[in-house]
Amino acid sequence: MRKEIINTWNGEKVELNISSDEYCCCPVCGRKSDDKEWRPYDKNGHPSYDICSCGFEYGFDDDGEPPYEKSWSNYRKKWLNNEIEQHFDKKMTKSEKLVQLKNIGIE
């Protein structure tokens, strides 16, 4: 896994995790993208407004303004504890979620 750093429009840095086969992973849940070109934020840190299968909407759930890490962490805790309605993908067990989080370096 490699890191991709985005220098945002307000001077913050956004760190994205890129898999060994060059797919970006959701910074909230670690789900690997289906598209190699996809990023949750553009090269200036502006959100895509895409919604991940975990339910996180980049630009909405993070208030659209860097730094984003705190909103990722807060949402991740709710997602792990099944406090988030998952309408976008199959429901995952907590152990499946913990395995997926390894994609973004969370053990």
Q: Which residues lie below 8 Å from residue 8, measured CB to CB, with a gap of 6+?
A: 14, 41, 44, 45, 46, 66
Tell me the whole-structure pTM to 2 decimals: 0.92
User: How many DSSP H helices and E strands does the chain contain?
Assistant: 2, 2
The dihedral formed by the CA atoms of 53, 28, 26 and 60, expressed in degrees to the nearest 10: 70
| Domain range summary for the chain, segments of one domain joined by + | 1-107
pLDDT one digit per residue (tens) for the chain, 107 residues: 899 999 988 899 999 999 999 999 999 999 999 999 999 999 998 999 999 999 999 999 998 888 899 999 999 999 999 898 766 667 889 999 999 999 999 98
